[in-house]
Structure 1
Amino acid sequence: MSQSEPGQMTQQAEIPDGGVNRQFALLDEFVASLPYKKENLIAILHRAQEIFGSLPEEVQMHIAYLLDIPAAKVYGVVSFYSFFTMKARGRHVVNVCTGTACFVRGAAKIQLEVEKQLGIKTGETTEDGLFTLESLRCVGACGLAPVLVIDGKVYGKVEVGQVKEILGEYREK
């Protein structure tokens, strides 16, 4: 895949053969099952992320090819929505809510403690691939602030002293 500027993809990449790679074959089967393919771009991206774990350029190019749409359109959707990622995530995704309610109730301290316990910064994945640390603007659980979300499970009214124990639950899984 070539890039003329950061974030801009061109259509000149080699498209992986769906018959050779099982992951691409699964994606091809899913797309083929849809009656209105172009209109289902977001559903296709969700399924692709389930299959591949992320949406790297090769996957985006393959989707653009399958749907006969510009790669820039696929990239635009992937980069716009926060639930899509272009980098591989860890087995467990840890999110610290940084919305207003969580922020005023100590989210920054929670985030620093999570970074300390995992040995990574926000936006990074641990070397063992077990955890990825992210932040969200608002989880919608303001009454439970500050909030920590791991793999979709919400932990409310989190205190710094609880972080190690909460993360420990996922180290054992």
Structure 2
Amino acid sequence: MADVFSLDNAKEKLEALDAFIDAQVSKKDGLIAVLHRAQDLFGYLPSELQLYVARKLNIPASKVYGVVSFYSYFTQEKRGEFTVSVCMGTACFVKGVDKVVDEFTKQLGVKFGETTPDGLFTMNDVRCIGACGLAPVVMINDKVFGHVKASDVANIIETCKNSERSE
């Protein structure tokens, strides 16, 4: 069953977001910072939350949506605990990232833009991570894995699962 977002069940998170918004020197100039904080708190920016932010900042909802849809950092879909970002830039592609992608797809059972049924992993493709010397590169959340081979994928996935269990 799909996760249904509701602001009604998020009182503490909304209070934290409200405090952050209230601390902004200029509410209209703080949109990106507010969206970062909202995504940190909620994990993603569904339309109901975007509308809430627009009302709190007294700006058009279309402006909020424009920023959310423009920047690849922001997501409108719920992500897994681990976001697997695979660099598809030229250096990574030349070094065989396609085989790495195939292995992640096989092991996780999802394609780019999808989340595993257990909610642990979301697969994303990115244009460039900026670590071309480490190609092919995979980034999981904030951790960079360089010189990744298809044979490394199972170990990377297991490392993530083990770190999730130990927290």
Q: Once the 2 structures are TM-superposed, how far is the Cα of residue 171 of structure 1 from its aligned partner?
A: 1.0
Q: What secondary structure does 1:95 align onto? A: strand
CA distance in 2, matches of 1:16, 1:106: 43
Gap regions ≥5 residues in structure 1 = 1-14
Amino acid at match of 1:172: N
1:5 aligns with none
- Please tell me whether residue 126 in structure 1 is matched to residue 136 in structure 2: no
Partner residue, 2:140: 150
Shift of 1:65: 0.2
- The aligned length equals 158
Deviation at 1:16, TM superposition (A): 5.2
**Which structure dedicates a bigger proportion of its chain to helix?**
2
Secondary structure of 1:121 counterpart: coil
Summarize the Cα distance change of 1:126–1:16 in structure 2 as closer, same or farther, 3 Å threshold: closer
Q: Percent identity?
A: 52
In structure 2, what residue type is equivalent to 1:90? G
Is there any run of 5+ residues in structure 2 with no aligned partner, and where? 1-5
The residue type equivalent to 1:100 in the other structure is T
Kindly provide the amino acid, as one letter, of the partner of residue 131 in structure 2.
Answer: A
Deviation at 1:29, TM superposition (A): 1.0
Deviations 1:44-82 (A, max 9, x none): 000000011000001100010011111000000000000
| Aligned amino acid, residue 171 of structure 1 | K
Distance 1:41 1:149 in 2: 26
TM (normalized to structure 2)?
0.90
